Amino acid sequence: MFSVDTYAGGRVQVRREALTGIASRISPERLRRNLSMPYPGSPPGDCPFCPGRVERETPTFADGARIHLGESVTFPNLYPYADWHLVTVITRAHAVERFTVDQVADALAGLLEGVKRRGGYVSLNWNYLPSAGASIPHPHLQGIADPRPTTLQGRYLTGSRAYYREHGHSYWADFVEEETATDRFLFEDVIPWFASAVPVGEREVRGVLPATSPAGIGPCIRPLARGILRVIECYRTLGTRAFNMALYCGTTDDASSFSAICSIIARLNPNPASMTDSAFMERLHFEPVVMTLPEEFGRYFRESGC
């Protein structure tokens, strides 16, 4: 009834329902995180991503190092839910009023350098604030690379290949041309940005990169950072600060048919009780991350007398 792929040395299962293709990621280790902390979460002195602790308490790559670029620090996620799952702490500051282009560009570039070490199907992602699913308030990005794409990434790659076969050119070239002539066009700064016609979240904005795979998007990093900041500044004028972002990459085999897409959605502002288990994977990859193995829950149910 379902298939299982095991990643990260058996620490992560990706299960796919045969009937629908719906996928679910199970990472039991993530239960060990303290998810009950109230907003604004750990004070700076109690934050593993703050200077002084990030160098001591986060994992390193196999060579014993982390990637440092500008203020950013990139390292493997202690609680992965992908085969290759990295975290990039964006700033030295625990709370940031407004990010600079340098801060976001350095963090994206550091994360990109890290995910390229593994390859496969890559995405760069950001949950900003606990109400967008960030379990640690200190601003950070997450990069994942798996042997298979995530659900939504896979649908776009498959659809784009089919479109290319049928039309002989890229869907995304047609998409940019058509959308630029609509009220959904926002601005172009190397990357054209649009309000998504079929939004998967509040005020979804999509940027279409002039590149496909991680190897090609390096030169787009700075305009990407500028574009993200411009969008979240607009969200701020509309009253929301929390957001999710995902940048879906293709592989070099997708170069003719697919352009990397950056999707950003607005989320509700944090409040004292704010914490959600719906983050970039659920909202922007259509793939839930859960912590409890169904078999463990079954055993608990039967043995607890519930």
| CA 225 – CA 212 distance, rounded (Å) | 17
Taking the least distance from each CB to Zn ion, the nearer of 47 and 228 is 47
Q: How far apart are CA 277 and CA 40, in angstroms?
A: 16
**If binding is defined by CB under 5 A, does position 140 make contact with Zn ion?**
no
CB contact at 8 A, 25 and 287? yes
Strand partners, 140: 89
CB of 138 to Zn ion, least distance (A): 3
| Closest CB to Zn ion: residue number | 47
Cβ closest to Zn ion, residue 89 vs residue 265: 89
**Of 49, 79, 235, 280, which one interacts with Zn ion (CB under 5 A)?**
49
Q: Give the Cα separation of 73 and 75 in Å (integer).
A: 7
Quick one: 94 or 267, whose CB is closer to Zn ion? 94
Q: Which positions from 72 through 101 interact with Zn ion, judged by CB under 5 A?
A: 94
Shortest CB 209 distance to Zn ion, Å: 30
Q: How many CA atoms lie within 13 A of 279 on its CB side?
A: 19
Q: Which stretch binds Zn ion (CB under 5 A): 136-144, 170-178, 241-249, 272-280?
A: 136-144
Does an H or E element contain 288, and which?
A: none
Both tokens of residue 129?
Answer: 């604030």
Nearest to Zn ion of 94, 283 (CB atom): 94
In terms of CB distance, is 50 or 67 closer to Zn ion? 50
Structure tokens at 203: 């005020």
| Helix pair angle (221-237, 101-116), 10° resolution | 130
Cβ at position 75, least distance to Zn ion in Å: 14
Of 14, 26, 50, 157, which lies in the binding site for Zn ion, with binding defined by CB under 5 A?
Answer: 50
CB neighbourhood size of 45 (10 A): 9
Interface residues with Zn ion (CB under 5 A) are 47, 49-50, 94, 138
